[in-house]
Amino acid sequence: MAQLPALTLEAAGSGRAVTLNAVGCPLVLICHGQETAPAAFEVNNAVRAQFADAGQVCIASVIDLRQFPSMFHGMVRPELEKAYRKAAEKLPEGADPAEFVVLLPDWKGEATDALEAGGSTKQAVVVVADAAGGIVGSYHGKEPGRGALDLMAELAGSADK
């Protein structure tokens, strides 16, 4: 089984360091760019409807931002933090935004490439991994929420064996 990369990304808004292969629970990654960001909402809504607890399943966006040279990072960061705050406001009372809103800027595209999600700025890619960082599978298609749920079902099926 392929493994998630041992890359650590800093979450926008919370500053939480997330090492992709060491999250410690099943992980749903939505790889996307600015144009494909709606897929992140679709996946979050679909997965959270079945797995409400962030300790049960972690969901994170890996946002491919390699097209922005470092001199523009200062303009992009506040937009990411604004997106974090906006999503955090919609959480139920008592929910920790750092656990439920995980926006991982991928400034160099390293994580995106390691996850074989290079086209995610044109079509989002969903990658699901088990608690040990083993990749269950990925979904490239027009229904990322459904794709994420299908991969979660595969994960549950492999756990039953």
Secondary structure, 3-state, 65-129: CCCCCHHHHHHHHHHHHHHHHHHHHCCCCCCCHHHHCCEEEECCCHHHHHCCCCCCCCCCEEEEE
Q: What is the pTM of this model?
A: 0.94
Please tell me the predicted confidence (pLDDT) of residue 157: 81
Strand duo 58-64 + 27-32: pairing: parallel
Three-state DSSP at 149 gives helix
Tell me how far apart the alpha carbons of residues 8 and 58 are, in angstroms, rounded to a whole number: 15
Q: Count the alpha carbons within 13 Å of 106 in the hemisphere toward its beta carbon.
A: 25
Tell me the pLDDT of the chain (161 aa) as tens digits: 799 999 999 999 999 999 999 999 999 999 999 899 999 999 999 999 999 999 899 999 999 999 999 999 999 999 999 999 999 999 989 999 999 999 999 999 999 999 999 899 999 999 999 999 999 999 999 999 999 999 999 998 876 65
Residue 54 has what DSSP assignment? T
Q: Which domains does the chain have, with CATH numbers?
A: 8-160 (3.40.30.10)
Burial 95-115 (b: 16+ CB within 10 A, else e): eebeebbbbbbbbebebbebb
Please tell me the predicted confidence (pLDDT) of residue 156: 86
CB atoms within 10 A of CB 48: 15
Q: Which of 11, 45, 36, 49 is nearest to 122 (CA)?
A: 36
Please tell me the predicted confidence (pLDDT) of residue 160: 61
